[in-house]
Structure 1
Amino acid sequence: MVLSLGDRVRAAIAALMQLTGESQADLAVALGVSQAQVSRRQSGSAAWPLEDCARVAAHYRIDVLDLLAGPTRACEGLPPTHPSTPVAPPFPYLCDRTCRASSAGRGPECPQG
């Protein structure tokens, strides 16, 4: 099944909002539109204008072509430095003094050596 351009844009924006933890209200503020406008556009009852697609892409710091390509490309393009991007928890095997990956402390399994 091939998605229309409008469906790809809506899916990409929904994925970006979910990944960054932003709400429709947050996105609306960033774009300078009402939450109701974002809701109508995300529900498909109104289209995302190209100018606003460019503003969405700029807000998330991705290329507008990645936004238009759909959710996978849009999310892959999201830089780790985006203010709303969740910070991944530290890996369980990273440590300061004792490595949990090695019963003897900093062993060969420990990336810190």
Structure 2
Amino acid sequence: MTSTSVEAAPDTNAIRPSGSAGIPSARVAAVGPGHPSALILASESDLLTIGIAGWLDPLPAALGLLTFAIPLDLPSVELGLAWHPRTAADPAQAWFRHHARGALLASS
């Protein structure tokens, strides 16, 4: 985990819905390398994290975390897949790309 100052943290106001009076602003306390580390940090602190539903099941339950839908109308997030050209002909990489793409499409 890398601590970040509030000034260097991502702008959380960008995801706030219009007319969100009364909803407290968020403060980014930490930025980490990925979702698993964010879940571990949340399980060992009073912080919370946002993730994609079903992305890392059953890790949240194994860490004793509760999950719930965010009760806000948030903008959708576009995901993309990019691969280095040198892996294009590798059958193992082709298999992985196929299954990674299928998993992402199934969760959308």
- TM-score, normalised on structure 1? 0.22
* More helix, by proportion: 1
Structure ranking higher on relative contact order (CA contacts 8 Å, 6+ apart): 1
- TM-score, normalised on structure 2? 0.23
